[in-house]
Amino acid sequence: MEGLRYGKVCILADADPDGFHIAKLLCALFLRHFRPLVEKGRIYVAMPPLFRIDKEKKYFMH
């Protein structure tokens, strides 16, 4: 663990269902293949908000 170049890994994915699924798959990958990183608390998952903007009968998702 001392030889790592970075202190933590942040998983960033879209806030939609596909992005959530991708984040879960990456968590499973780290849990299975890099368990010491998970046990040391070095894996983070960003939880971005999902916005919907209604304007003149048009919907914008961000």
Domain boundaries, the chain: 9-61
pTM for the structure as a whole: 0.74
Residue 38 CA to residue 43 CA, distance in Å, equals 6
DSSP assignment string, 8-53 = -EEE---SSHHHHHHHHHHHHHHHHH-HHHHHTT-EEE------EE
Let me know: does 57 contact 23? Beta carbons within 8 Å. no
Residue 45 CA to residue 61 CA, distance in Å, equals 21
- Give 3-46 pLDDT, tens digit per residue: 889 999 999 999 889 999 999 999 999 999 999 999 999 999 99
At 59 the pLDDT is: 59
Mean pLDDT, range 38-62, rounded to an integer: 80
With a cut of 60, say whether residue 57 has pLDDT above it: yes
